[in-house]
Amino acid sequence: MAGSRVSFAGGDVGPWRVLEQRAVRGDPLPAVERVTVATRGDAPPANGRAPAWSLDGVVSHLRYATRRDVDSLRPTELPLSRPEATRAVLIPIRKSAAWWALAQDERDEIFAARSRHSAIGLAYAGEIARKLYHSRDLGEPFDFLTWFEFEPSQATRFDELLAALRCTPEWGYVEREVEIHLLRDDAFGIAR
């Protein structure tokens, strides 16, 4: 749905506790303790100072996925907010000017044929829930905000997924990338 806008705010409040935050490429984001995920219309958090950073994105239409990709993915993919998926990772990404200057068929060739981006995602879709938010047209510092949710036992699988994506030719066009690992507050009771 266009206009489904989401804000990720990093600060000292929010249900997601930061386990690790690091710049993979380019400038880091200021280090924070917690992250809030808000959709438009949510009230701002009642406590805490102003967030150290706030990143906006929107759910948008598919940019590369074919009908075949969609039909393969639909029966497999997991929804967000499963109670047992207490781990999350937010990865804001910006691609280079060279990427955005490519024509659609050139980007598609890199995305699909050379990098098999959808196929890699599909292989992990039954274990790791994933949502992509688009930021570039909003004039934001990143082009995409990728959000992953999984059970703590799937953390190694998540690392594999990231490693597989990062050695694709597509990732050669990533010029800024930050990785923020999160644990949901209510998970502490379960984990201990």
**Which residues would be at the binding site for its own copies (CB under 8 A)?**
2-3, 5, 58, 60-70, 100-106, 108, 134, 136-139, 143
Residue 81's CB is within 10 A of a number of other CB atoms, namely 9
Q: Which is nearer to its own copies, 4 or 153 (CB)?
A: 4
CB of 157 to its own copies, least distance (A): 26
CB of 77 to its own copies, least distance (A): 14
Q: Which is nearer to its own copies, 62 or 190 (CB)?
A: 62
Q: Which residues contact 41 (CB under 8 A, 6 or more apart)?
A: none
Q: Which is nearer to its own copies, 138 or 155 (CB)?
A: 138
Residue 184 and residue 86: Cα distance in Å, rounded? 5
Q: Which is nearer to its own copies, 33 or 69 (CB)?
A: 69
CB of 116 to its own copies, least distance (A): 15
CB of 145 to its own copies, least distance (A): 13
Checking 42-51 for CB contacts under 8 A at 24+ apart, the result is: 45/9, 45/11, 45/13, 45/14, 47/13, 48/11, 48/12, 48/13, 49/11, 49/12, 50/11, 51/9, 51/10, 51/11
